[in-house]
Amino acid sequence: MNAIETKGLTKRYGTYSAVDNLNLNVAKGSICGFLGKNGAGKTTTIKMLTGLAKPTSGAISLSGVGRKYGSNNNSNIGFLPDVPNFYGYMTSREYLNFCGKLYAMEGKRLKARIEDLLKQVGLFNDNKNISTFSRGMKQRLGIAQALINEPDVIFLDEPISALDPIGRNEVMTLIRSLRGNITVFFSTHILTDVENTCDHVLILEKGKVLADDTIVNLKQRHAANAAILRLYTPDDGHRFSALARGQNDLTVEPQSPTEFILRADNLNVLGKRISSLLTEADISMEGFQAYTPSLDDIFIEMTGGVASE
Amino acid sequence: MNSYRVFFQKEWMEIIRTKKLYILMGVFAFFAMLSPVITRYMSEIIALATDDLMMITVPPTTWKDSWSQFYGNISQIGCICVIFMFMGCVSGEKQSGSAALTLTKNLTHTNFIVTKFIAAAVCFTFSIMLAGLICYAYTYYLFEYAGKISDLFMGIAAYSTFTFVLLSMTVLASTIARSTAVTALLSFCGFIILSLSNLVPGIGRLLPGMLLSKTAELSYGVQSPEIILAFIIAILIAMLCVFLSIYLLKRQEI
């Protein structure tokens, strides 16, 4: 059974489709990275999944239970928005106590859960009001409140966007620790973290899904017909660029004066073509190997590499 | 019922810790103490303020004037305090994002609005009751009579009911608006309309403005049969505003 399923999920504002016919299938216990440029529809999707926005059409199912907008049954989900804001006059313990009680948790069970979570997120010894917390501390408290009810699925909207590298690492370690127990669905722009953490990646562009696959599959698919060529000198690089410009079936992407990513329909043919081109021009190569793209490369390639407005 | 209880506890903690209750109690208590004293020594104050050549005859003041002075003072300042205290109750939470966290737990939009209204109403009622008792005690001390205690509660009930309508309009304005500044503007417009509603020809005597204009009279025992209708209509308007707030919040993207 999938933890998150949507069928034809759509959100329109007038004639503009923020999310267009989204079909999601996220496996239970997996960590799913939700990627897309600004304005791609990520936050709107998360809002619909968490019941904060009413879908124009489509169906949502979380842990096999259909979700109806307006119902207050959020017992199986946790949510952390991009800029979490808590009641500043409370301490972290009081806030978690409030959240737990909203889920009808009481007594020793709730107290033990609060202490466990505060230890887990490193706020055990903080008894100050939340208004004095740093951004990182708020983010960690945000994760704790999302987990208070021991949910099946948690939705994290850009949980690391405004954190320093140390805070980012802490939060990502926390997210990784949830693997297998809880399904984590999180949106972010920091793709290296997705690469190091996620089992599954979903790329959204203008409200439509561009990719919905595991990172391994995505990389294999995008690496299939690409290779990386390294030359010894920039002069060799210039000459190679001039030669390659005349080849219609070869795409050359310079990475530096001596390094190029080459794409063609077939990797074997590509090797032979490059070999003959270099021999013809009397250029020695330092290295030639199959290219493994990073998630950044895949993302840029799929979304057209143009920053959103 | 659990979520109502838990959210009410949170709202009450907010009212205490952000000192809303103490400020409201302080403002009302100040006027409750000041009004009987000003009324009792009015002739002396006027005599001190004018020279010997100017002769102003001030009729002797009574305990009834003390109540008129009290309600005259709090009818505007008290209502303005209520607007300032509670104008951010929904818009502030939407703006800051805390509403998004709360509403993704087991709390409905209905719980959210109703509890906010009830908590604000309880805070206000507590403050005005205390002020009424202080004013009663001071009036009794200075004039040796302050009216029947049941009439004191009638006056407070009329003022409270008017303020509940104002509170419900503030909650509605706070739900409609995205910012507290817009909420304040809408609430003040609502306050002016409510205050003047008793001047509407024909039906004015049944509208909430009548409750505000009759608070002092009710405190010294003057009642009119139509006042009960004004109470009922005010309660219905307050309920309508609360229902409208729930309806609108459900349609908003938070």
Q: Return per-residue pLDDT of chain A as tens, 309 residues.
A: 789 999 999 999 988 989 999 999 999 999 999 998 888 899 999 999 998 999 999 999 998 888 888 776 788 899 999 888 999 999 999 999 999 999 999 999 999 999 999 998 888 888 899 999 988 889 889 999 999 999 999 999 988 877 788 878 888 888 888 888 899 999 988 888 888 888 889 999 888 888 888 888 888 777 767 888 899 999 998 888 888 877 777 888 888 999 988 887 777 777 887 888 888 888 888 988 888 777 887 888 777 765 554
In this structure, are residues A262 and A270 in contact, taking their beta carbons and an 8 Å threshold? yes
- Phi, psi (deg, nearest 5) at residue A186: -135, 140
| DSSP assigned state of A149 | T
- Phi, psi (deg, nearest 5) at residue A288: -150, 115
* Contact criterion met (CB < 8 Å) for B97 and A73: no
State how far residue A303 is from chain B, nearest Cα, in angstroms: 27
State how far residue A54 is from chain B, nearest Cα, in angstroms: 7
In this structure, are residues B154 and B67 in contact, taking their beta carbons and an 8 Å threshold? no
Residues of chain A in contact with residue B250, where contact means CB-CB under 8 angstroms, are: 70
- pLDDT digit of tens for each residue in chain B (254 aa)? 788 999 999 999 999 999 999 999 999 999 999 999 999 988 788 777 776 666 667 778 889 999 999 999 998 888 999 899 999 999 999 988 899 999 999 899 999 999 999 999 999 999 999 999 999 999 999 999 988 999 999 999 999 999 999 999 999 999 999 888 898 999 999 999 999 998 898 888 899 999 999 888 888 888 888 899 999 999 999 999 999 999 999 988 88
Residues of chain A in contact with residue B105, where contact means CB-CB under 8 angstroms, are: 74, 99, 102-103, 149
**For chains A and B, what is the number of CB pairs under 8 angstroms?**
73
Residue B39: strand, helix, or coil: helix
Q: Is B97 in the A-facing interface, judged by CB distances under 8 Å?
A: yes
Count CA atoms closer than 13 A to A287's CA, side-chain side: 10
* Contact criterion met (CB < 8 Å) for A79 and B254: no
pTM of the model: 0.84
How would you classify the pairing of strands A77-80 and A153-157? parallel
Could you report the per-residue pLDDT of B118-143, keeping only the tens digit for each? 999 999 999 999 999 999 999 999 99
**CA A273 to chain centroid:** 37
Separation between Cα atoms, residue B116 and residue B110, nearest integer Å: 10
* Contact criterion met (CB < 8 Å) for B98 and A87: yes
What is the ipTM score, two decimals?
0.87
State the virtual CA torsion across A277, A281, A287, A293 in degrees, nearest 10: -50
| CA nearest to A143 within chain B | B101
- Give the residue from B182, B180, B201 showing the smallest Cα distance to B86: B180
* Contact criterion met (CB < 8 Å) for B101 and A86: yes
Residue A152: strand, helix, or coil: coil
In this structure, are residues B23 and A119 in contact, taking their beta carbons and an 8 Å threshold? no
| CA nearest to B250 within chain A | A70
The pair of structure tokens assigned to B139 is 């009036």
In this structure, are residues B152 and B128 in contact, taking their beta carbons and an 8 Å threshold? no
Separation between Cα atoms, residue B155 and residue B160, nearest integer Å: 9
- Give the residue from A8, A6, A22 showing the smallest Cα distance to A207: A22
Q: Is B224 in the A-facing interface, judged by CB distances under 8 Å?
A: no
State the virtual CA torsion across B82, B84, B86, B90 in degrees, nearest 10: 150
* Contact criterion met (CB < 8 Å) for A104 and B14: no
Question: How many helices and strands in chain B, by DSSP H and E?
Answer: 12, 0
Indicate which of A12, A45, A52, A153 best probes the interface with B, i.e. most B CBs within 10 Å of its own CB.
A52
Separation between Cα atoms, residue B128 and residue B139, nearest integer Å: 16
Q: Which residues are bridge partners to A79 per DSSP? A: A155
Q: How many residues does chain A have?
A: 309
* Contact criterion met (CB < 8 Å) for A75 and B100: no
Separation between Cα atoms, residue A167 and residue A46, nearest integer Å: 23
Residues of chain A in contact with residue B2, where contact means CB-CB under 8 angstroms, are: 101, 104
